Amino acid sequence: MAGSVVLKLILTLVLCTVQVLCAKKPAEVLRHSVTRYGYPVELHKVTTQDGYILSLVRIPGKSGKAPVLILHGLLSSSVDWTVQGPDKSISFIASDEGNDVWLGNVRGNTFSKEHKTLSSKESEFWHFSFHEIGLYDLPAMVDYIRSNTSSDTIHYVGHSQGGTVFLVMASMRPDYNRKFASVHLMAPAAYIYHATSPAVDFASRIDELEMFAKLTRSYEIGGRGPGSSMDLVYAGHKTGLVPTSLVLTNIWYLVGVHDSINRTVLGEILANTPAGCSVYQLLHYGQNYLAKSFQMYDYGPVRNIQRYGSKIPPEYPLQKVTAPIMLYYSAGDNFVPAEDVEELADQLPNVVHKHMIGLRKWNHIDYLFDGSAHRLYRMIVASLRNQSADGNSRK
Which residues are known catalytic residues?
160, 333, 364
Element (H, E) at 102: strand 101-104
Q: Using CA atoms, how far apart are residues 91 and 98, in angstroms rounded to an integer?
A: 11
CA distances from 303 to 168, 212, 219, 299, 307 (A): 21, 21, 21, 6, 6
Q: Using CA atoms, how far apart are residues 171 and 321, in angstroms rounded to an integer?
A: 5
In this structure, are residues 331 and 356 in contact, taking their beta carbons and an 8 Å threshold?
yes
> For residue 274, is the peptide bond before it cis, meaning its omega torsion is within 30 degrees of 0?
yes
Helices (DSSP H) in 256-372: which residue ranges? 263-272, 279-291, 301-308, 338-347, 366-369
Contact partners, residue 377, CB within 8 Å, separation at least 6: 89, 90, 93, 94
In this structure, are residues 15 and 226 in contact, taking their beta carbons and an 8 Å threshold?
no
If DSSP codes are grouped into helix, strand and coil, which group holds residue 127? Answer: coil
